[in-house]
Structure 1
Amino acid sequence: MPFHNPLAKQPESYVKKKEYTFNKTLGEGTFGIVRSATWKAADPPINVAVKVISKRILRGHDEIVKDEMNVLKGLDQPHVVKFLDWFESKDKYYLVFEEATGGELFERILSRGRFTELDACRTIRSVLSAIQYLHHHKIVHRDIKPENILYRTKEEDANVVLVDFGIAAHMKDDDEVLTSVCGSFGYAAPEILAKKGHGKAVDMWSLGVITYTMLCGYTPFRSDDAAALAAETQRGKIEFHDRYWKNVSQEAKDFVKACLTVDPKKRITADEGMAHPWLTEHSAETQGTHDISAGLRENYRKRWKSAIAAVRASTKFRTFAQLASESRSASQSSLQTGGSDSTDSSNAFAGEAGKISPPTKRELYSEDEDEEDGENNEFFDSEDGTAVKGNLDGSSEKLPKKEPGLVEKLEGKLEDMHLRSPSK
């Protein structure tokens, strides 16, 4: 596929951009940003979240974005984020989603005054129903983690929705073996770390990590060293420490163990999970009303989250384009023959740094490249969140701060970091 041509005319779909009024930035990652916007063409106008992706970082591998859109098209389930529209400019892709404004899963729990096992059960059942729906449609998400589980609104009874399908895969059939190394450290299944090939079962492992952490406040695998964490994950030894687990039901522990089974063939499936006693027989009488949020308050922010951050900061993450250069056949050959790096599972999340720099904030926020006339462009955001006026000659009333280097960007955005690969 040819590289982006800066002299080319705007694509036909670019006319849709006039239907949107862009507002504040909701999030920022290595490959793009997510901006709040108002979709004026909707009746009535609605607030949406627009994922803006730089074409430069894709280096001609536009199929990465198109694969994500193909996965999302036609999906309709209460706990799966709705994909509404898309368009492109010469230098960016714009993916439009419903806006989930209620906050991330664990942050929302921490902001509550009380959170019981019954609450946890209901939340996990909602997330699992989304996973089950995806699996029935032969889709594996591959990046299920608390940051990708959002509450739709700030209302007390708001639904949770599963978001970010950037590395999801649409399988040809249930027996297809996916071979790319992908996911987020701390949630990736053992078979991914061991490069043995994987399938739908990886989503159930990730759900098990989330469930365990939700019930006690710390992750089941806690090393702050990348190689040690990978080895610990592959061993899969789980402990239920009495201090935090004494008031948690046996059914909940059984569900966690069923999800965190190292052998993916023996791991519980989404259908089996939905029929598990913990999720089908839940009630205040069987699970009690004990507040379990103390574990999250005591452990999640102070210990586990910082430990995972340390691992991610010390591990080099590959970019979309670096991974795009690796063919599926080469990846599969390495996996099957046990290549030179197959003995070190921590290398599954390592890569060469510096080959490709992330898009600058100016490229993502500024509309300079999108304008075809000679008038001033739209406002874009500076790093400190203030609006500044940009001009076609690159000048502005307030210039953005110096863009940090790749290492600083990784360390500053740890919660957004995960290894992505366009190959399956």
Structure 2
Amino acid sequence: MTGLKHSAAINLAAWLEKQNRRFPGKQRRYFKLVGTTLSCQKDEKAAPKWTVDVLGRDLVDETTDKGGKVTISLPDRKLIIHFKEGDTAKSWSEALKIAKSMQVENFYQMGKQIGHGAYSKVRLGFEKESGKEVAIKVIDKKTCPKDDLIFLERENEIYIVLEYMPGGMLYDVIAMFGQFTERDAAGVMREMLLGLEYLHSRGIVHRDIKPENILCTNKTWPLHVKWTDFGLSNVLTGGDDTLQTQVGTPHFAAPELLKSEPYGAPVDLWSCGIVLYNMLSGELPFDHPEDAGEIFRQILYNEVSFPEKQFSRISPDAINLVKNLLVKDPTKRLTAAQALQHRWFVTAPTAKAAPIANDLSKLHSSQRLPSVRGRK
């Protein structure tokens, strides 16, 4: 079965007829099926008279190419919906069958826990049809903040099936090896920027760019990486600088975000500059072990420095790219597309593959301060 994986999101609405419960006859009502939730209204603008979850319910399909009916067994009654037209009957019967069978266990075997977040856990899963490994994020409604529950109106848990990235977090892989080259760094950075170029071209701002949100497909070089955790992302709907919420992680926050100014995609490029600085030197340009406020002060008022100890053997091209990403004025900061044209991506792959001499063993993700969620 492939309904859960390949079916489009269920969102149907139509005037249909339901069997009257109290006396013979039918009533014309406006029905909606969103996900697994079926609701019934007197008209299109009225509040639902009732809603039911069809997940796991018994369903009898008696539709034909001319119409027919579907019977859904509920705990207290049988709901009978009639269709006058064949096309409507077909679309609704197919959608109801998918909705009733959308338990994740029907399609995936749940494995061990491989990660966790503040309101969720991530488990390894296996697609029953192909045996393919996946990552299944399980969000618990009981612990999730109320503002984040818009898409969890009725379910106790929601399952999000994602690509499994067995390499794990980028910095943990780097720390495991203890060293890597500028050639390696350029390869990783290029894939990061390609991902951001794609997101920004569609008006999506990630807003929490940091090492923990860069996952690897493997643990061997060359690494291939992808962005993850879009819980703080948002969409630019009214122009280039329409976001205002203060969110993100202290070390990687852009100056304009900290000033509570309207901002847009450039905040992601600033954060990429911090990540690149960190990968090359093993240090953070703005840092304090405990005080996020001090980190914010440094970001706002200090210029980024390149200490001789860490950067004497880093190429001028790499340093130049970092400088052009860590520009406090977002209008002068490189875009993802511009950064991808930087000279470093030409010189680094052809340079001698000498290991970066800095100590990178402390780059484990567990040493980072947590993200900050702002008001929406």
What's the TM-score once normalised by structure 1's chain length?
A: 0.61
Which of 241, 244, 250 lines up with 2:310 in the alignment? 244
- Confirm whether residue 57 of structure 1 aligns to residue 143 of structure 2: yes
Correspondence for 1:47: 133
* Unmatched segments (≥5 aa) in structure 1: 67-87, 313-416
Correspondence for 1:338: none
Correspondence for 2:119: 31
Correspondence for 1:419: 372
Which of 343, 348, 359 lines up with 1:277 in the alignment? 343
Which of 103, 110, 125 lines up with 1:22 in the alignment? 110
CA deviation digits over 1:65-89, x for unaligned, max 9? 58xxxxxxxxxxxxxxxxxxxxx98
* Unmatched segments (≥5 aa) in structure 2: 1-36, 38-50, 56-98
Correspondence for 1:117: 182
CA deviation digits over 1:322-376, x for unaligned, max 9? xxxxxxxxxxxxxxxxxxxxxxxxxxxxxxxxxxxxxxxxxxxxxxxxxxxxxxx
Which residues in structure 2 correspond to 1:114-153 (within 5 Å)?
114-153=179-218
Note closer, same or farther for the CA distance 1:236–1:139 as it changes in structure 2 (3 Å cut): farther
Helix, strand or coil at the partner of 2:337: helix
Partner amino acid, structure 1, of 2:222: D
Which of 294, 318, 324 lines up with 2:358 in the alignment? 294
- Confirm whether residue 230 of structure 1 aligns to residue 296 of structure 2: yes
Which residues in structure 2 correspond to 1:184-333 (within 5 Å)?
184-224=249-289, 225-285=291-351, 288-292=352-356, 294-297=358-361, 300=363, 306=367, 308=368, 312=369
Correspondence for 2:74: none
Partner amino acid, structure 1, of 2:298: E
Correspondence for 1:349: none
Deviation at 1:125, TM superposition (A): 0.8
Correspondence for 1:97: 162
Separation (CA, whole Å) in 1 of partners of 2:357 and 2:155: 48
Which residues in structure 2 correspond to 1:64-79 (within 5 Å)?
none
Deviation at 1:10, TM superposition (A): 6.1
CA deviation digits over 1:163-182, x for unaligned, max 9? 11111112225424101111
State which structure, 1 or 2, has the greater radius of gyration over its C-alpha atoms.
Answer: 2
- Comparing both structures, which one devotes a greater share of its residues to strand? 2
Note closer, same or farther for the CA distance 1:239–1:265 as it changes in structure 2 (3 Å cut): same
Separation (CA, whole Å) in 2 of partners of 1:110 and 1:94: 31
Deviation at 1:158, TM superposition (A): 4.2
Helix, strand or coil at the partner of 2:252: coil
Separation (CA, whole Å) in 1 of partners of 2:223 and 2:347: 22
Which residues in structure 2 correspond to 1:358-397 (within 5 Å)?
none
Equivalent pair of 1:235/1:262 in contact (CA under 8 Å): no
Q: CA RMSD in A?
A: 2.6
Note closer, same or farther for the CA distance 1:241–1:131 as it changes in structure 2 (3 Å cut): same
- Comparing both structures, which one devotes a greater share of its residues to helix? 1
CA deviation digits over 1:48-81, x for unaligned, max 9? 1111112233465466558xxxxxxxxxxxxxxx
CA deviation digits over 1:139-173, x for unaligned, max 9? 11111111111111234434111111111112225
Paired residues in the alignment total: 282
CA deviation digits over 1:240-290, x for unaligned, max 9? 1111111111111111011111111111111110111112333333xx433
CA deviation digits over 1:103-130, x for unaligned, max 9? 2111111222641111111111111111
Equivalent pair of 1:167/1:422 in contact (CA under 8 Å): no
Equivalent pair of 1:10/1:89 in contact (CA under 8 Å): no
Q: Which structure is richer in relative contact order (CA contacts within 8 A, separation 6 or more)? A: 1
Separation (CA, whole Å) in 2 of partners of 1:121 and 1:164: 23
Percent identical across equivalent pairs? 32
Partner amino acid, structure 2, of 1:272: Q
Helix, strand or coil at the partner of 2:284: coil
Note closer, same or farther for the CA distance 1:64–1:131 as it changes in structure 2 (3 Å cut): farther
Separation (CA, whole Å) in 2 of partners of 1:64 and 1:126: 32
